[in-house]
Amino acid sequence: MSTDPYNARVRELFAAPEHAGDLAGGATVLADDQGVRVVISASVADGRIAALRFRAWGCPHLIAAVEWVCSHYEGELLQALEKFPVDRIMEDLAVPIEKTGRILVVEDAVQSLGRSLNH
């Protein structure tokens, strides 16, 4: 059994997060809890999420999860933000159960972003 705490997918997303950075002119939310901080920004066009960007302060699992989320939702209908795939993220990124709270912080940020964009 490997003692490496990060699977290949975490290492890939953490090493080259395509959505890291700022997005001017979009809606932005901040989630700060569980010892992590996540800022997510989005722009919408024709009812779809046109672009997502993030800044995250935390462990590689957290940063990989936010990158996963941005890749997952970009191009989707705005309503897609209402459903957050916690189990799928936990499985795809092999997130240890003790880090579930960090993924839930990402969920809070995404749902807050969805509410912000719907107003």
For residue 109, give every residue at least 6 positions away whose Cβ sits within 8 Å of its Cβ, in sequence order, or none. Answer: 29, 30, 31, 38, 39, 40
Mean pLDDT of 68-73: 98
Q: Which two tokens stand for residue 36?
A: 């992590």
Neighbours of 62 (CB within 10 A): 25
Q: Which two tokens stand for residue 80?
A: 């897609």
Architecture per CATH, domain 12-117, reads as Alpha-Beta Complex (3.90)
Answer yes or no: are the C-beta atoms of 63 and 36 closer than 8 Å: no
Selected residue with higher pLDDT from 54 and 2: 54
Q: Dump strand ranges (E) for 46-93.
A: 48-57
pTM of the model: 0.94
pLDDT score of 34: 85
Q: Where are the domains of the chain?
A: 12-117
pLDDT score of 4: 85
pLDDT score of 2: 65
pLDDT digits (tens, 9 = 90+) for 7-58: 999 999 999 999 999 998 889 999 999 889 999 999 999 999 999 999 999 9
